[in-house]
A and B are shown apart, each in its own frame.
Chain A
Amino acid sequence: MGTVILKNMSETLVQRDVVQRVLNESMGRGADFAEVFVEDRANASASLDQRRIQELSSGRSRGAGVRVVVGDTTGFAHTADLSETGLLAAARAAAAVAREGRGGVREVTLSDLVEYPSRAEVSPASVPKARKIELMMRADEVARASADAISQVQVGLADSTRRFLVANSDGVFAADEQVRTRFAVSCVATGDGGMQTGYRPLAATRGFEFLTTDAIEDAARAAAQQAITKLSARPAPSGDLPVVLAGGSGGILFHEACGHGLEADAIMKQASVYAGKVGQQVASPLVTLVDDGTMTGEWGYLAVDDEGRPGARNVLIENGILTDYMWDYLRARKEGRTSSGNGRRQSYQHLPMVRMTNTYLLAGDADAEEIVAQTPRGVYVAQLGGGQVNTATGDFVFGATAAFMIENGRITTPLRDCNLIGNGPEILRRVDAVATDFSTTPGTCGKDGQQVPVGCGQATLRLSGITIGGTAA
């Protein structure tokens, strides 16, 4: 049984001369900037539930988005018609914002195409569907074998191969192929006190090479163990307590507490508490925060961003001092500087905007166990499940999906799920210990309705106090 899904994926998306003519047309009415983004994406997913392979799904979407900038106004149109006629129609629709109607064609000079080859070793298309199913079944067995209390196991597997080509009127001309693969296990454990959940994702900007049987079995056991542990959980406390965040998913704290507030779109609209603070101390000296698109294989990795700018390692906060914001192409252009490689979009149907890639706190020199030992009473958060921020006020929340009390310097009772809430600039000052055990975690970041894959990372760290949203006194 074969597959046709990637039949045409090795072909050039759109020929250079066509791209050229579409850009010329876009600029014709007196625009300041034009860009064409062509994308071809193949998705495949499979789900297992109640010991059954429920569904395999395959999808393909191809299209192009054209944007045209006149002054401070951007016009945008997208089309699924990749013929020259279709692309020119999109160009004219996007250029309708240019009302001066100067007419004519402006010649754009494209650079040589810069191509970024895929780094996937095992292409998802090359993996037999039977092998995918075998891995999912194995995860189900391992999770169920962990304990009798495991009543439900769900396994999801998804991969995407996204090829794109981007060209703009400044001559940028780049093409990339991004392969992402994701495997996740969710468990429900049932006990006397009701049901509890456990979850573990494995996700990378790689092909299937990282989904080894060992990795999958470990994830299944971890998800099952998390649900079982929570069966004996008691309500989380309420009020301010010291919190120790385990390495890895704790990075979501920085994504929310300051990451979004350091995106240039929020800065330029004066809609961030960090606007105008470059050079100032905004965090504890233990905080050095980096956004790094170059971390090969990480969930937020990109060789080149969706505007044709190579991914970069950008230091945002160094020893507590704010050093720079994150930039996309247009906002950087306006400020007369270069993009930091943070221009991203969900698909060809969306306008790019400033987005994080892999955002992480550099490791410190404390010992993770020592940090816990030196915390008389507090909460240990082993896994975070997402968060949300209001960049204008700096107030943010993040959810603990695996947490424990710390009593007399020891990790004790498991706690039920709860949110923690704080104010970004305040909480950043309360980082009072950072360990050496750095690790990362994958996530999906939503902004203005667009979802993009991002990575987060940090070593075990302690906040001297943050408000915990539980129900216990």
Chain B
Amino acid sequence: MSELLQRARDLLEQVGAGEEMEVFVSRGTETEVQAYQGEVENLSSSSSAEIGIRILIDGPQGARVGTAYAGSLDDEAIAEALFNARDNAHFATEDEFVAFARPDGVTAASLQLTDPAVTTTSMDDKVAMAIELEAMVRAGDTRIRQVDSANYSDYLAEAAIASTTGIAAAFDRSGSYVSVEAIASDGDEDQTGWGLSVGRAPGDLSLETAARDAIRRATRMLGAVKAPSSKGVAVFDPRTAATLWSIMGGALSGDAVVRGRSFFAGRLGEVVASELVTLIDDPTDARHFAASIYDSEGLACRRNELIRAGYLQQFVYDTVSGRRAGTASTGNAVRGGVAGSPSAGCRALQLLPGDYDQDEIFRRVGHGVFVESLTGVHSGVNPISGDFSVGITGLMIRDGVLAEPIREVTIASTLQRMLLDVMFVGSDVQWLPGTAAAQTIAIDGIVLSGS
């Protein structure tokens, strides 16, 4: 048993009469290097630990839960958190659906998500990667005027969840990233491009990919103009498509659905998308950067098919939202650190790949806009009403090939409409960081607002 799980289980002995208790402990180390002008600008190396405690009290009308957390694992901090969790529980409203997870018999996938090289690689080597990345971008094209930031970062994290309802889960993971932002200049005009590479350890990373992407995106935008307003097809590159699927994933949360806060509510079994859309959430696919063995309640993660050939198949649930919906958890409890209660969320989305590569999609689309970056996603997308309006940069597609770059324009539709209007799905899957992997997709009926 991991030491962390043992600590969590030991704490369970302090459960009071008539209570259930859940302990979530996490611990990790992080490294971050920023290079600038051939030198290290910032170098940070730290470790941290957190604990979250939830106490559940049963009553005549249902259960009540109180939560507390602490940013360290010393006895005093833990005692304070336990006291507060217990106190907080008395103030919640009794709710028949509130419960802690119980083991559900689903076997955890056997995944190796930690690469020890993340800690055995020397700091000097990590520093060298950030510095080399910056140099590659600066040297890669004469139009690169500045590299705003070239970063290397990594983490190694372990966590354990134990509860008096029988949960005992321990898991660990590592991650390693490089990212770089380039500024290209052509006289008075500046344009930016961002590149990245992700993996579980430094050896997985490709500095070339990150550098090439940043340079290509920045230089290709030079000369960008504000396009005239129009309505038609938008082709999303894998990165921007991943953002779209993450938003869709939010609306497929059973928690949002049972609370009447999703445009998918009440539509199970109906056609909600083009027949090209088969969307699954599968944290057991080790290729996915967000792959995970357990969810945030300690249940095994599993493969869930959400949309099949356009038909809405199912939502994702944690224990409480599952009970509220009259079903069970799908192993999709998520929570932002130890600080709060779990909620239901997608963790590792992927869209079934199509047949065409990106160039073939451009050819088939003929005329439209190619979207390379989105801005204002948090301010212009409403997952309840489905309204979608975001700023973009990208290039026009003319006669089946990329044409002039465009900027300072928005695209708009509704999320409902966009799913139905998917025209092509690419074969070029990219395993990106975040909750969605993605490939190029083409969507019709998009209004471009410009000059």
Contact = CB atoms under 8 A, between A and B. Distances in A.
Interface in B399-423: 407-413
B204 to A, nearest CB: 22
Interface residues of B, number: 79
A212 B123 CA distance: 53
Contact of B413 (A55, A62, A471): A471
B70 A61 contact: yes
A145 to B, nearest CB: 19
A71 B384 contact: no
A4 B46 contact: no
A397 B69 contact: no
B68 interface: yes
Contact of A419 (B37, B45, B410): B410
Contacts of A389: 375
B141 interface: no
Interface residues of A, number: 86
Contact of A75 (B43, B70, B387, B450): B43
Interface string A375-401: 000000000111111101101111101
Nearest to A237: B449
Interface stretch (A112-120, A193-201, A433-441): A193-201
Interface stretch (B14-22, B240-248, B259-267, B295-303): B259-267
A72 B259 CA distance: 52
Contact of B375 (A2, A51, A273, A390): A390
Nearest to A80: B72
B42 A351 contact: yes
Given A53-B93, A151-B260, A417 B43 contact: no
Given A188-B261, A269-B146, A469-B391, A60 B80 contact: yes
B48 A418 contact: no
Contacts of A142: none
Contacts, number: 271
A470 B389 contact: yes
Contacts of A273: 190
Nearest to A50: B259
Contacts of A384: 379
Given A57-B339, A60-B81, A239-B450, A418 B93 contact: no
A65 B68 CA distance: 24
B385 A195 contact: yes
Contacts of B407: 393, 395
Nearest to A48: B93
B39 interface: yes
B379 A61 contact: no
Contact of A57 (B69, B95, B376): B69
The main secondary structure of chain A at its interface with chain B is strand
B158 to A, nearest CB: 16
Interface string A352-395: 00000000000000000000000000000000111111101101
B390 interface: yes
A239 B81 CA distance: 53
A29 interface: no
A57 B68 contact: yes
A80 B49 contact: yes
Contacts of A239: 229, 449-451
Given A1-B87, A197-B382, A469-B412, A417 B387 contact: yes
A393 B191 contact: yes
Contacts of B390: 397, 419, 469
Nearest to A419: B380
Contacts of A242: none
A384 B84 CA distance: 37
A273 B89 CA distance: 52
Given A1-B90, A58-B88, A418-B387, A397 B192 contact: no
B59 to A, nearest CB: 13
A418 B70 contact: no
Nearest to A1: B87
B183 interface: yes
Interface string A179-209: 0000000001010001111000000000000
A469 B69 contact: no
Nearest to A417: B387
Interface string A150-187: 01100000000000000000000000000000000000
Contacts of B148: 269, 271, 392
A58 B380 contact: no
B42 A388 contact: no
Contacts of B366: none
A149 interface: no
Closest 8 CB pairs of A and B: A399-B379, A469-B410, A61-B71, A397-B376, A238-B449, A419-B380, A56-B88, A386-B379
22 contacts: A5-B80, A57-B67, A57-B339, A58-B85, A58-B87, A97-B40, A195-B260, A195-B384, A269-B148, A270-B145, A390-B192, A397-B376, A416-B385, A416-B387, A417-B385, A417-B387, A418-B387, A419-B389, A419-B390, A419-B391, A467-B449, A471-B447
Given A60-B81, A130-B91, A421-B376, 4 more contacts: A3-B84, A56-B92, A59-B70, A77-B45
